[in-house]
Amino acid sequence: MKKKTCYVTTPIYYSSGEVHIGNSYSTIVCDVFARYNRLKGHDTFFLTGMDEHGQKVEEAAKKNNVTPQEFVNKMAEKTQAAWQMMKITNNDFICTSQERHIKVVQKIFEKLLANDDIYLGVYEGNYCVPCESFFPKSKLVDGNLCPDCHRPTTVVKEETYFLRLKKYEKQLLQFIKENPDFIQPESRRNEVISFIEQGLEDLSVSRTTFKWGVPVLSNPKHVVYVWIDALSNYLSALGYLTDDDSLYQNYWVNGDEVVHVVGKDILRFHAVYWPIMLMALGVPIKFKLYAHGWWLMREGKMSKSRANVVYPQDLIPEYGLDALRLFLVKEMPLGNDSIFTYERFFEKYNADLANDLGNLVSRTISMVNKYFGGTIRKTAKIYTEFDQQIQELAEKVIKQYINKFDNFRFQDGLNAVWELISRANKYIDETTPWILSKDETRKEELENVLYRLVEVLRLVAIMISPVMVDTCETIFNQLGISNELQQFDTLKFGLLNTTTVVSKAEVLFKRLEIEKELAKIEKAKEKEKETTPTDNFKPEITIEDFSKLDLRIGKVIECKKDPNSDKLLILQVEINGKVRQIVSSIADVYKAEELVGKNIVVLANLKPTKIRGHLSEGMLLAASNEEQLEVLETRKVTKGTVD
Ligand code: ME8
């Protein structure tokens, strides 16, 4: 019989950012879903990757003096290393600069053009580079600011291709209304419906002002808009429109379950543009969308400039991978935001792991050793109401767990598992094995208690295995559970017959002294502040450092581009009646003739040096913000007037 299939995808990550606990969350929940489906025996394909094209990356690469390809390769390597550290079990890692992806995007674009779902026109409006999004004037905040990130937008007027969104507006709305679980949770679905009901504008889907993108095959001066490029990854990775599209046939066309997981910030792209693209391509809309909220800090969003970004690499070596995975998955309800604090992380570590789970494992193993020499057998009798209750609860929790995990409600599923863990700890106190052990006639009753504890732990270990990928192994090993009894279809109370546990339980989670841990974090933060520039500023300097600079006004009397370099301009600058040659790598921002005649600021006491064979006697000053770089010009102030 053909296995049920499951295809699960993360958003593909921008190459401009680093992996922190926020974006790790998207990947970890997908990993949990993929592992859960594999546990159920489903044929599962889990995809993640990198969104590498766009103006933002082109500019970042320029800033770092590397090619965009070099830049994105490095980021892909770093991201993959982070996923490995988090034991992410993706089956493929797609990068949008890979040939296999580019070819499919080009075919998709041409297919849409041929169907007249894409047409050529002129776009006039505003563009937000950090968000890689177009906005009509009417949507801007305070006339010019991006409605999403509140940064200044730039005005663009260019020839562009448009994707017909309007044409599909009604069809999409009908689809969403007929498929109530297409977008989850419901609050997000309602947002999408109201967005569509306000009316859709055709979407500009190509750019001509930069190069780092997928060229439109039939008109290569255009590159495909990054979102069209990026969304296509979900199909290009499956070989859609290629000679071998067996993955596409298996996991999409004939697939049983397709799940796209996205953060709330990118819902619109997935809930509006993507299904419309599929409708236009004639590809069935097979996917469900799960939109999750954000991990926030007390101050709001995590950001480097606030020095409040939490990196998994900082937590995992100290507290373990499973503690982080469990915390992220169990503390965030689907759809809502959650605030990350170290206090909460440590409190939950102590409560869920050291007290509840860790304690249950160590108490159980030590009693099995103490009272039965390490081996217990199944006893099916019910001696007390507590025996009955724990068994019933285990059965109820298994049902809840499956229902919640099937529907991506991991927090609820895990809460149910923890109810069972707590109940098992309480069961020890209720049945008092230390008293039973004193009475030889109650030995069987005692064995029955311990059997039930081991059996509950076996079930718990199976249920947490998609989340706590190392701990489940340790529990199985410590309890001596055979491979067959670790499988999903053995999630039934009472299947264990006999087992021999390890003679000494290894402590799974040591209780943390919260104050001490918080102090450690504070210290590490201080150190980081000292060594890393905030907001990408360079480390502080003193006024003494600054006063060493000799700044002079110079007039550019001649300026030429170095014929052997794309970057260098060679300027002749007059300072105090003498002409100096200054070489500057700003040819990608300024044309040579633009600078002639300008009064600029020159660092005059910089040691002369040769740049690409040209003598440079000083440095012209320029300043930058996130969007642009500008040469500093001076204006003379005379008798109250400015000229
Ligand atoms: O949006 N908490 O990429 P991205 C939770 N390339 N999730 C967070 C988060 C936080 N603090 N910060 C980021 C992109 N994320 C596009 C996707 S898909 C075809 C293209 C999540 O690197 C964010 O919500 O900016 C998004 O789901 C994911 O990280 C990738 O963000």
Q: Cα of 99 to ligand 1 centre, how many Å?
A: 24
Domain assignment present for 59? yes
Do 364 and 258 belong together in one domain?
no
CA atoms within 13 A on the CB side of 622: 15
CB-based contact 8:297 (threshold 8 Å): no
Number of Cβ atoms within 10 Å of the Cβ of 482? 12
Which residue's C-alpha comes closest to atom 24 of ligand 1? 263
Which residue's C-alpha comes closest to atom 22 of ligand 1? 13
Average pLDDT, the chain: 92
- Quick one: pLDDT at residue 551? 94
Query: Which atom of ligand 1 lies nearest, measured to the CA of 16?
Result: 22
Token pair for residue 238? 């499956």
Instruction: Give mean pLDDT, residues 414-424.
Output: 98
Query: Which atom of ligand 1 lies nearest, measured to the CA of 231?
Result: 19
Which residue's C-alpha comes closest to atom 28 of ligand 1? 23
- The residue from 500, 528, 557 where one domain ends is 500
- Quick one: pLDDT at residue 133? 82
- Quick one: pLDDT at residue 131? 82
Do 210 and 138 belong together in one domain?
yes
Residues 6+ apart with CB under 8 A from 497: 377, 378
pLDDT digits (tens, 9 = 90+) for 7-52: 999 999 999 888 999 999 999 999 999 999 999 999 999 999 999 9
Token pair for residue 54? 């766009």
- The residue from 243, 274, 292 where one domain ends is 292
CA atoms within 13 A on the CB side of 614: 20
Going through 131-256 in order, the beta strands assigned E by DSSP cover: 133-135, 154-163, 183-184, 203-204, 206-207, 223-224
pLDDT digits (tens, 9 = 90+) for 347-361: 999 999 999 999 999
Do 496 and 389 belong together in one domain?
yes
118-128 and 133-135 beta bridge pairing: antiparallel
Q: Measuring CA to CA, which residue among 372, 366, 323, 364 is closest to residue 347?
A: 323
CB burial class (10 A; 0-12, 13-18, 19+) of residue 335?
middle
Q: Cα of 587 to ligand 1 centre, how many Å?
A: 34
Task: Name residues contacting ligand 1 (CB within 6 A).
Answer: 11-14, 17, 22-23, 25-26, 51, 230-231, 262-263, 265-266, 294-295, 302
- The residue from 471, 500, 529 where one domain ends is 500
Q: Which of the pair, 624 or 480, is modelled with greater confidence? A: 480
Do 187 and 91 belong together in one domain?
yes
- DSSP codes, 230-253: HHTHHHHTTTTTSS--HHIIIIII
Which residue's C-alpha comes closest to atom 23 of ligand 1? 263
Domain assignment present for 531? no
Do 487 and 594 belong together in one domain?
no
Query: Which atom of ligand 1 lies nearest, measured to the CA of 293?
Result: 5
DSSP element (H, E) containing 356: none
Query: Which atom of ligand 1 lies nearest, measured to the CA of 270?
Result: 19
Domain assignment present for 240? yes
CATH classification at residue 151? 3.40.50.620
183-184 and 287-292 beta bridge pairing: parallel
Residue 229, CA distances (Å) to 49, 103, 243, 273, 274 in order: 13, 11, 20, 12, 11
Mutating to test ligand 1, I would choose from 72, 78, 266 the residue with most ligand atoms within 8 A of its C-beta, which is 266
Do 419 and 563 belong together in one domain?
no
Query: Which atom of ligand 1 lies nearest, measured to the CA of 264?
Result: 24
pLDDT band at 601 (very low <50, low <70, confident <90, very high): very high
Do 82 and 216 belong together in one domain?
yes
Lowest mean pLDDT among 491-495, 555-559, 628-632: 628-632
Domain assignment present for 597? yes
Do 252 and 368 belong together in one domain?
no
Domain assignment present for 324? no
Domain assignment present for 176? yes
Lowest mean pLDDT among 224-228, 417-421, 520-524, 627-631: 627-631
Q: Cα of 151 to ligand 1 centre, how many Å?
A: 18
CATH classification at residue 448? 1.10.730.10
Strand pairing partners for 156?
125
3-class state of residue 566 by DSSP: coil
Lowest mean pLDDT among 80-89, 454-463, 628-637: 628-637
- Quick one: pLDDT at residue 506? 86
Domain assignment present for 505? no
pLDDT band at 151 (very low <50, low <70, confident <90, very high): confident
Q: What are phi and psi of 609, to 5 degrees?
A: -150, 170
| pTM confidence score | 0.82
Q: Cα of 62 to ligand 1 centre, how many Å?
A: 23
pLDDT band at 625 (very low <50, low <70, confident <90, very high): low
- Which sign, positive or negative, has the C-alpha torsion 178, 182, 188, 194? negative
Q: Cα of 218 to ligand 1 centre, how many Å?
A: 32
Q: Cα of 309 to ligand 1 centre, how many Å?
A: 14
* Cα distance between residue 8 and residue 287, in whole Å: 9
Q: Residue 611 sits in which domain range?
A: 543-631
pLDDT band at 535 (very low <50, low <70, confident <90, very high): low
Query: Which atom of ligand 1 lies nearest, measured to the CA of 233?
Result: 19
Token pair for residue 31? 């990993």
Do 366 and 464 belong together in one domain?
yes
Q: Above 70 in pLDDT, residue 533?
A: no
If you count them, how many residues does the chain have? 643
Q: Above 80 in pLDDT, residue 534?
A: no
pLDDT digits (tens, 9 = 90+) for 177-227: 999 999 999 999 999 999 999 999 999 999 998 899 999 999 999 999 999
CB-based contact 233:96 (threshold 8 Å): yes
Q: Cα of 102 to ligand 1 centre, how many Å?
A: 22
- Quick one: pLDDT at residue 642? 37
Q: What are phi and psi of 111, to 5 degrees?
A: -65, -40
Q: Measuring CA to CA, which residue among 241, 152, 169, 158 is closest to residue 205?
A: 158
Do 494 and 587 belong together in one domain?
no
pLDDT digits (tens, 9 = 90+) for 339-390: 999 999 999 999 999 999 999 999 999 999 999 999 999 987 888 999 999 9
Domains held by the chain: number: 3
Do 439 and 576 belong together in one domain?
no
Which residue's C-alpha comes closest to atom 26 of ligand 1? 263
- Which sign, positive or negative, has the C-alpha torsion 600, 625, 60, 237? negative
Domain assignment present for 190? yes
CATH classification at residue 567? 2.40.50.140
Which residue's C-alpha comes closest to atom 11 of ligand 1? 22
Token pair for residue 452? 């039930």
Q: Cα of 263 to ligand 1 centre, how many Å?
A: 6
Q: Cα of 56 to ligand 1 centre, how many Å?
A: 15
Q: Cα of 52 to ligand 1 centre, how many Å?
A: 13
With vertex at residue 405, the alpha carbon angle to CA 466 and CA 7, rounded to the nearest 5 degrees, is 75
pLDDT digits (tens, 9 = 90+) for 254-295: 999 999 999 999 999 999 999 999 999 999 999 999 999 999
Do 476 and 580 belong together in one domain?
no
* Cα distance between residue 366 and residue 369, in whole Å: 5
